[in-house]
Amino acid sequence: MANFLIEGENRIGGELPIHGAKNAALPILAAALLTRRSVLHNCPDLSDVRAAAHILEHLGCTVEREGDTVIVESDDGVYCDIPDGLMREMRSSVVFLGAILTRCGRARVSFPGGCELGPRPIDIHLASLERMGVNIKEDHGDLDCTIDGKMVGTELNLPFPSVGATENILLAAVLAEGTTVIHNAAREPEIQDLAGFLTAIGAKIHLKNDGTIVVEGVETLLPEVEYRVIPDRIATATYLCAAAATGGELLVTKTEPEYLAAVLPMFEEMGCQVKTGPDLIYLKGPRRLRPVRMVRTMPYPGFPTDAQAPFMALSTLAQGTSVFVENIFESRYKHAAELMRMGARIKVEGRVAVVEGVPALHSAQVRCTDLRGGAALCIAALAAAGVSRVSDIAHIERGYERLEEHLSSLGAKITRE
């Protein structure tokens, strides 16, 4: 396993163009099964994206990368099963289910397990697909899914606006018989981007402001598409946290400030200066951060759960107490114990965490527990006195493209061990 060695107390600043969004690229790569040739620009080079490419290759597609462009080609011979090994490589491989069912009329995938964030059931995915006419049989840890004829459009009320379930339903509904209406659907920008890709290949999708999505099934989809993936809002927030934690000055470009409407005011509450432009965000960190009264993670457009850990790292250095309530995942505070090795003061009680800020952190040996938790440890190490060793960085490489290269270009002293 590789580690990062990070020497702290260096201001992070300068200009950084942000890469494409992991959580948009993954469902769009699954959707590439519904057409013959997809040219995806701004597709981030991440281990999760490579895992999705492995799944597409296993299903019979060819996948080529040229810089930040990925080209997916599929002909008639598409398979419809994903072996356990590939499913476990990436938790969100479950979104291939809807695409394979639409492409092949049947699918066999292994049941996705839990992950570092606690239990991750897919009951909403399965219940919705069953309502659309899919027969689902559990068979020795696998899900064997078949359809008699075509999937059928129907009215769905999701008990929770699940991102993954909304994506699977969209992928299942585009060629279904009739109209699918999804009430209480997820509204994340990544959902809008998947709908944008599907519309670009001829799907009929209407996103309403109240979280309702209407999909009119069509007969066929277009064989070719060229599409640009949206910028990564969580990577944007993470780099801004690195600048704020070190009193730096950063301009993030090629990003979308609107996607961070629930996040930017938190930076201001903590004493940062924030300015935005059409596709850029400027932030200047204060000499000493102020606490953030309350961070409640919510489905979009609320505060994103994926930014909770980076913000917690920031709040460990604030002059006062910050409170976090994690409403999306059951156990998404594993980074707290690691931050406490660096001198942070954090109390976790179920879904609530209380962070009492300290004047300074010190270096330590810390271990990434998950993707965003790993990013939080890097932010803390950038601010801490001394050299920290951050291990198990494979977690970080799932969601951040060339993190150490970008941080070095912004003034960080970071090396890979």
Closest to ligand EPZ by CB, 95 vs 361, is: 95
Give the whole-angstrom CA distance, residue 159 versus residue 292.
Answer: 30
Backbone φ and ψ for 309, nearest 5 degrees, come out as -65, -50
- Least separation in angstroms between CB 123 and ligand EPZ: 5
The single residue among 15, 75, 123, 268 that binds ligand EPZ, judged by CB under 6 A, is 123
Binding mask 252-271 for ligand EPZ (x = CB under 6 A): --------------------
Closest to ligand EPZ by CB, 22 vs 103, is: 22
By beta carbon distance, the residue nearest ligand EPZ is 164
- Least separation in angstroms between CB 251 and ligand EPZ: 24
Q: Does 92 bind ligand EPZ (CB under 6 A)?
A: yes
Q: Does 163 bind ligand EPZ (CB under 6 A)?
A: yes
Q: Does 393 bind ligand EPZ (CB under 6 A)?
A: no
Residues 349-388 that bind ligand EPZ (CB under 6 A): 371-372
Q: Which stretch binds ligand EPZ (CB under 6 A): 159-167, 169-177, 272-280, 383-391?
A: 159-167
Query: Could you confirm whether 115 is annotated as catalytic?
Result: yes
Task: Find the catalytic residue in 115, 145, 272, 368.
Answer: 115
Q: Which stretch binds ligand EPZ (CB under 6 A): 22-30, 101-109, 265-273, 404-412?
A: 22-30
The single residue among 98, 133, 164, 257 that binds ligand EPZ, judged by CB under 6 A, is 164
Q: Does 49 bind ligand EPZ (CB under 6 A)?
A: no
Closest to ligand EPZ by CB, 20 vs 164, is: 164
Q: Does 180 bind ligand EPZ (CB under 6 A)?
A: no
Binding mask 318-337 for ligand EPZ (x = CB under 6 A): ----------xx--------
Closest to ligand EPZ by CB, 171 vs 364, is: 171
Site of interaction with ligand EPZ (CB under 6 A): 22-23, 26, 92, 120-125, 160, 162-165, 186, 190, 305-306, 328-329, 371-372, 399
